[in-house]
Structure 1
């Protein structure tokens, strides 16, 4: 198939690093890339590999965005469409039939996606295939909290049971004592809101869950990521260890190291996908604690550090593209190449700009000792030769400049958030 005859792909949420990784991966292959974005300061929007830029409503307004997406698809049918966030994964699945009339999709149904993005449903599925999960309670209301407080070992984490259409996007908070559980539960319900579409689908989705707290979560989160096809037989995976996040107890990954894939664990993840009927890209997170791998998250979409896997011979956006286009033979060829890839060295992933800012800020505040700051800088220097950056690319510099401007603007508008997460590590 010639480059000129290849269908374009439509990518949304250009401020996500998974979107930037997909733009670069597919654009370098000559596949036409259309980016739909409402924000000016969005790194992927300004990549040299973008073929076309279109304006769209903010994805936070799901009704307006979906209306625009359907109009775009009707006017310009044939684009490949794939999600970059939990919101988009669920919305695309919820409206799969309408979207599928205009777009090429590799999208499971809404019950499949919700089964992975709702922690209570995910935990039930994990038990069926032999995957371990953290001790977790799903209180139906305040009446269940007394039992939770009696059974749980404090401190615990109070977390949303799903991030779909979750307006505050908080990962969770630590509850130190049993006496604090009820007021913190009430505070969660008062302060956090979900989109109407989700609550129409599941009225109980807004109830937080209580999860055991593991100190290992700060530096011992293992990630298994890759692609699985509809049959469950084509399965490509890479392993990574999250070694630094912000905040360090519970936050967004900044630094990862390459680690081998655990074959037994990978087989259980494949079984989970087959049982539920999931196909597409995935990132599954585990806490290594007490000799077990405890599954804490399953992301059925493009994800932030996807560029790390692409650099390690697993071109996930291309898998999705070929599958959505129905190119089964080509999909098999790409998979065989990925399965046969030999790295020949230790790869790391680092969002270098935020990494340096965090070291400086927490070094000055005392949250990191001078010895720890030195250790982290030595870690990067030692692995620099095979370091993959979230944004920096020598052949595509503009997204890096836009990323710097995006963060400066965010910190200027939300100084308290900057101090809390980057300086005080909370």
Structure 2
């Protein structure tokens, strides 16, 4: 097991803290814990917005201070901005913002002036086109950008009415996949429970009855897992949309199976995919951290972009360079005027999310699915929760997860099975 800080030859600015910004009720978030450890291990003071004082993030030895604040992400932006500014005043000095969900990333992008011009020195964050993160987080907006810039993505339709649904049902090749069109729908009134496979026109009509007159869904071609591979790209881009850190890997298992959060993944060198991602980011002019999910379709040899998260991904600690740089460290160094040292990624390294990998393993073995590019043997393992130098988050996760988590996993499993609609 390796959960080390790596060797960072460039000294970080330890006078500038980091703040984990998250909205919504998901206390078992390993990505936030990973960011706290990543910067905390190299001496950067770390703060976090948490649901309460007993979340895994709140008990990390590397956390300087927790700010309990329950939000949903659907609150008025002014309320959320005021809350962030109050936290900034309590910290009392310029602080790097590290968003862990789309709501936070979009809020920061759309309110850059208010967050930077403050009486405590302002927050630090990548300066990006204010409208771009919201568009990238939207399934419809992302598909439009892919079409504009010639990047492959699943063939998609965005029905605007029940008549559009009927026209689609009459001509589509099934199965298809239904997703919520906008990222924020998952916190409000989602049309579907995550990625939902629909096997027939009849199944689509049945499901669409609950979508109302203006369906908030995007319908996409189904990419059969037997003919596809799931790849991920994590990177940090500077103000010129040039990559200061860029990593590629393959997702072996997720939960729910084939359509959810990464449960196990490996670092795999893929220069073609790295170039593809870098070109797309340059063309759209994005600045900051990205977390991309792509599916390689072996039928036509294309990498198809499924999701663009304009923020740190939960599994970002899979990736670290030989010089000890991950995307969060790269951002902190860059925003504080430090050089980001170059270095190759740790090919063959493995990442495991303990509480969801076991049920994912059982599900994948039943399906017989294999990932051809996964290394036969890992060069090292990074666990999402377990760390020899920071054990409290692991035990806190177990305490909060065991009973309600088991029930939640079962519900996700049942939802994923019901998601195949075609009877």
TM-score (norm. length: structure 1): 0.81
Between the aligned partners of 2:11 and 2:305, the Cα distance in structure 1 is: 42
Q: Does 1:98 align with 2:106?
A: no
Per-residue deviation, residues 300-346 of structure 1 (Å, max 9, x unmatched): 10111101013764421122112333x0xx23xx2x43xx3363x62
Q: Does 1:288 align with 2:296?
A: yes
Instruction: Check conservation: 2:256, 2:413, Cα contact below 8 A.
Output: no
Between the aligned partners of 1:118 and 1:301, the Cα distance in structure 2 is: 14
Give how far 1:120 is off.
Answer: 2.0
Instruction: Check conservation: 1:226, 1:314, Cα contact below 8 A.
Output: no
RMSD: 3.2
Other-structure match for 1:354: 356
User: Which of the numbers 183, 187, 196 marks the counterpart of 1:163?
Assistant: 183
The verdict on how the C-alpha distance between 1:142 and 1:348 changes in structure 2, with shifts beyond 3 A counting, is: same
Give how far 1:278 is off.
Answer: 1.0
Give how far 1:231 is off.
Answer: 0.6
Give how far 1:22 is off.
Answer: 1.0
Structure 2: gaps spanning 5 or more residues: 1-9
Between the aligned partners of 1:148 and 1:39, the Cα distance in structure 2 is: 46
Other-structure match for 1:276: 284
Between the aligned partners of 2:361 and 2:416, the Cα distance in structure 1 is: 9
After alignment, is 408-417 or 100-109 more displaced? 408-417
Between the aligned partners of 1:183 and 1:123, the Cα distance in structure 2 is: 26
Between the aligned partners of 2:305 and 2:19, the Cα distance in structure 1 is: 31
After alignment, is 265-274 or 84-93 more displaced? 265-274
Instruction: Check conservation: 1:222, 1:239, Cα contact below 8 A.
Output: yes
Give how far 1:153 is off.
Answer: 1.1
Give how far 1:23 is off.
Answer: 0.6
Give how far 1:40 is off.
Answer: 4.0
Other-structure match for 1:220: 229
The verdict on how the C-alpha distance between 1:424 and 1:319 changes in structure 2, with shifts beyond 3 A counting, is: same
Between the aligned partners of 1:143 and 1:421, the Cα distance in structure 2 is: 27
User: Which of the numbers 254, 260, 270 marks the counterpart of 2:263?
Assistant: 254
Instruction: Check conservation: 2:255, 2:357, Cα contact below 8 A.
Output: no
Instruction: Check conservation: 1:235, 1:270, Cα contact below 8 A.
Output: no
Q: Does 1:420 align with 2:422?
A: no
Per-residue deviation, residues 60-83 of structure 1 (Å, max 9, x unmatched): 453454332122224534121121
Give how far 1:251 is off.
Answer: 1.8
User: Which of the numbers 31, 34, 42 marks the counterpart of 1:29?
Assistant: 42
Please state whether the residue corresponding to 2:209 is helix, strand or coil.
helix
Between the aligned partners of 1:372 and 1:54, the Cα distance in structure 2 is: 45
User: Which of the numbers 74, 78, 82 marks the counterpart of 2:98?
Assistant: 82
Between the aligned partners of 1:284 and 1:66, the Cα distance in structure 2 is: 27
Give how far 1:296 is off.
Answer: 0.7
1:169-208 equivalent positions in 2, closer than 5 A: 170-189=193-212, 207-208=216-217
After alignment, is 54-63 or 13-22 more displaced? 54-63
Between the aligned partners of 2:274 and 2:354, the Cα distance in structure 1 is: 30
Per-residue deviation, residues 235-277 of structure 1 (Å, max 9, x unmatched): 43111111111221322211112211233x4333223223332
Between the aligned partners of 2:240 and 2:404, the Cα distance in structure 1 is: 43
Instruction: Check conservation: 1:218, 1:248, Cα contact below 8 A.
Output: no
Other-structure match for 2:136: 116
Instruction: Check conservation: 1:248, 1:425, Cα contact below 8 A.
Output: no
User: Which of the numbers 119, 131, 134 marks the counterpart of 2:151?
Assistant: 131
Other-structure match for 1:393: 387
Please state whether the residue corresponding to 1:383 is helix, strand or coil.
coil
Instruction: Check conservation: 1:8, 1:78, Cα contact below 8 A.
Output: yes
Between the aligned partners of 1:182 and 1:253, the Cα distance in structure 2 is: 31
Give how far 1:138 is off.
Answer: 0.9
Please state whether the residue corresponding to 1:110 is helix, strand or coil.
coil
Give how far 1:92 is off.
Answer: 1.6
Other-structure match for 2:86: 71
Between the aligned partners of 2:350 and 2:183, the Cα distance in structure 1 is: 27
Between the aligned partners of 1:228 and 1:3, the Cα distance in structure 2 is: 18
More helix by share: 1
Per-residue deviation, residues 132-189 of structure 1 (Å, max 9, x unmatched): 1111111111121233223321111111112125326732211111122233123245
Structure 1: gaps spanning 5 or more residues: 191-203
Per-residue deviation, residues 72-119 of structure 1 (Å, max 9, x unmatched): 224534121121111111122222221122312224233111221112
Give how far 1:12 is off.
Answer: 2.9
Between the aligned partners of 1:398 and 1:218, the Cα distance in structure 2 is: 41
